[in-house]
Structure 1
């Protein structure tokens, strides 16, 4: 994988036909130096866009931006690009990898401001709503065949939809749950849930953690607090499900016009108070590193699909994935991962879609998910992965994504402000033991300030 500064240079070379404005180059260098809506399937059926008309005139050049994620993921995409280019001559794809996380998003915003976005952009799923609202990406309903649409996991369609139209599509999704050591739990007389319908209640889970501490595990639960830092997505992705499970919300789910009374409402406060109490009792690994489960200090890990290979390697035959606790309204889990979007004003939509169609082939999805350990985005690709089949070690993730247990993060352009505020509040609550209600009030104030600054992010001028 190339270093970030080399990637910026590569971008400048690849885009010679549409040179970067000097402001973007300066912004990119500065950023790297610093280290730095309730729409259902019915709405998804709308086919009113003209992004794809079914033909490609002549030959086309397509430039792609890709986040510099795990090396295996980046390497796989580059090989897919090479194979696609070799397989046909009508569309030529050039890929550029750029820094992940916040520098990546800021590079996108800078490029959009100067008119230098690539033709195809990948982004963390919840960013889609902001990009769609601002017109940076265009709807793709006209590009999908009915067969592909039906093949996509419902969570992929849901995550990619804004204002009733599909703007994004991913080749993989994510899963969240509790990893447990069955041998330890059985020895302690603790029942192991078989699925979402019999998830542990929050009260039951509190008792389980106390039992495990009595069995000699000082901090039986690892919640990844080492990653709970301001600006990091883990806090919102990982623990918004506890809020939702208790009946709370991060923002008004009907209007998306305020967070007041929702993020700081009684249910949200109750859920986060429960989590804080676990930490206060010392039941939670304090965040020294992210190896508490691997090293046997913790025997339950609240985390995502990406940890399964490591955990299974450390404890062969002794790792099971169970649902997150039920905080009162049923277990809820997270969903959503990196998606692709066609930028406005970019290359011919059919040319870009030709490449995406290639990436969405079952064997190509399998190729990528074998590299990054993520969940295949289509039913046909899932069939190529035994671990997600009935009885497979990671089947719970598919069950949750298909069964409505998984929820997308709020589908609103205000999501960047929401996750920024939540990611600042969560470590204050869990690590600093700040008062829950007052801390959430501060988060609400920040979110509502952003909403006011954008007039509530009106759709189509409404």
Structure 2
């Protein structure tokens, strides 16, 4: 009697367990003989969520021997949840993360190289900027479905009214001196003299992404990329100080609109907006044929631009790395990339997707972003120190735009970066515990 009761309770438990598992959308490998791939991604905007969920469903239908279990986490706390999971070696098989976080995960030995996992044809199709951002120690650790575009949107009507030359390509960018003249001409035609939107209403990472290209265009950088140990010579050197002094002057001369309502450009209060690809839909709707996309100014070493966005990597402890790579290759199909960039407006990550994109193909309104990614973009420094680098640069930028001494602000930022690197023993690779 006891044996029958025990068997009955076990059967009920198994039945309820199966229902619970079905509701979660996952099936134990022991019962299904499928290779289970756990995936974490940030929830993002609604359109991105829907596209990714649809792609996971289609992958599971197309590859019956593999089952992808997707978990979407809130964007606000996403990176902190990843960091906690990484410290406890509890990351999923496939991880989505913002580009600059890659280098910390590689340093912690949390990711495995994709060079021999991702098909060669898929790797060859990726834009060079995607490869640059996803590479560390000469190995590819991450790939993205899209990249970002940073430039300057212009109001052609206001530019022409002020007699301003409109650059036609990256190589034709305004020089630093010419750009200062442009601002002066535009201000002379403007009621309050504020003619430039730098998205001063944004916060955080924006300031590093958007304005370190000024320093790099002048010949400086956030850190010496020869050894990733020193920042003072490049971040607080004369080239960087000169470039950031020019930026400070834009604020002090009243050229920069505070843009507290984020409407300076769409309401045509300003003629120029220094921002990324994500503003194109709103700007195109507001300005129509008056909208033009321009490269950032050349501060001496050519026009430079930021790059990088969300990427995918495979956990070093993934049970089925080949199946995980199969999922990444699926996401990188042109039709899947175009579905994602169709809702977020970003630059498609592969050549085959770019040629099929109305916005980014040759002659498209955002083609400049592709050209920049191929010839003038600068990836964020490939070092785990980047989290400190971006934090102290943001602080320096805030001080500089409020009138602080440029040399002092950059020197303090460089010193903080070098101290962090020293405290972390040069960020040498750490053993897995």
Global fold match (TM > 0.5): yes
1:124 partnered with 2:95: no
More off after superposition, 412-421 vs 235-244: 412-421
Q: Distance in 1 between matches of 2:26 and 2:257?
A: 47
Alpha-carbon offset, residue 310 of structure 1 = 0.7
Structure 1 residues 14 and 268: alpha-carbon distance in aligned structure 2, compared to 1, 3 A threshold: farther
Residue 425 of structure 1, aligned match among 389, 396, 410: 396
Tell me what 1:52 maps to: none
Q: Distance in 2 between matches of 1:341 and 1:363?
A: 21
Which of structure 1's runs of 4+ aligned residues deviate more than 6 A?
13-17
Alpha-carbon offset, residue 100 of structure 1 = 2.3
Q: Distance in 2 between matches of 1:327 and 1:58?
A: 59
Residue 136 of structure 1, aligned match among 110, 119, 124: 110
SS in 2 for 1:191: coil
Alpha-carbon offset, residue 266 of structure 1 = 1.0
SS in 2 for 1:387: coil
* 1:45-56 correspondence runs (5 A): none
SS in 2 for 1:92: strand
SS in 2 for 1:143: coil
Alpha-carbon offset, residue 83 of structure 1 = 1.7
Q: Distance in 2 between matches of 1:59 and 1:317?
A: 53
Residue 71 of structure 1, aligned match among 46, 55, 58: 46
* 1:248-397 correspondence runs (5 A): 248-397=220-369
* 1:54-203 correspondence runs (5 A): 58-100=33-75, 103-203=77-177
Alpha-carbon offset, residue 407 of structure 1 = 1.0
Alpha-carbon offset, residue 217 of structure 1 = 5.0
Alpha carbons 1:217, 1:298 under 8 Å: kept: no
Residue 214 of structure 1, aligned match among 188, 192, 208: 188
Q: Distance in 2 between matches of 1:212 and 1:111?
A: 51
Q: C-alpha offsets along residues 261-287 of structure 1, whole Å, 9 cap, x if unaligned? A: 221111111111111100111100124
Tell me what 2:380 maps to: 409
Q: Distance in 1 between matches of 2:211 and 2:234?
A: 15
More off after superposition, 313-322 vs 143-152: 143-152
Structure 1 residues 217 and 128: alpha-carbon distance in aligned structure 2, compared to 1, 3 A threshold: farther
Q: Which has the larger radius of gyration?
A: 2
Structure 1 residues 361 and 375: alpha-carbon distance in aligned structure 2, compared to 1, 3 A threshold: same
Alpha carbons 2:118, 2:326 under 8 Å: kept: no
Which consecutive residues of structure 2, in runs of 5 or more, have no partner in the other structure?
A: 1-20
The normalised TM-score by structure 1 is 0.84
Q: C-alpha offsets along residues 62-107 of structure 1, whole Å, 9 cap, x if unaligned? A: 1111112222112211111122222231111121222325x32221
Alpha carbons 1:129, 1:411 under 8 Å: kept: yes
Structure 1 residues 173 and 128: alpha-carbon distance in aligned structure 2, compared to 1, 3 A threshold: same
Q: Distance in 1 between matches of 2:253 and 2:289?
A: 31
Structure 1 residues 138 and 172: alpha-carbon distance in aligned structure 2, compared to 1, 3 A threshold: same
Alpha-carbon offset, residue 362 of structure 1 = 0.6
Tell me what 1:46 maps to: none
Alpha carbons 2:38, 2:68 under 8 Å: kept: yes
The normalised TM-score by structure 2 is 0.90
1:442 partnered with 2:412: yes
Alpha carbons 1:152, 1:377 under 8 Å: kept: yes
Alpha carbons 2:26, 2:67 under 8 Å: kept: no
Alpha-carbon offset, residue 299 of structure 1 = 1.3
Tell me what 1:3 maps to: none
Alpha carbons 1:242, 1:332 under 8 Å: kept: yes
Alpha carbons 1:66, 1:95 under 8 Å: kept: yes
Q: C-alpha offsets along residues 93-132 of structure 1, whole Å, 9 cap, x if unaligned? A: 121222325x322211111122221111111111111111
Q: How many residues in Structure 1 have an aligned counterpart in Structure 2? A: 405
Alpha-carbon offset, residue 15 of structure 1 = 9.8
Q: C-alpha offsets along residues 201-253 of structure 1, whole Å, 9 cap, x if unaligned? A: 111111111111111253110001111x3xx2101110110000000110111
Q: Distance in 2 between matches of 1:90 and 1:14?
A: 15
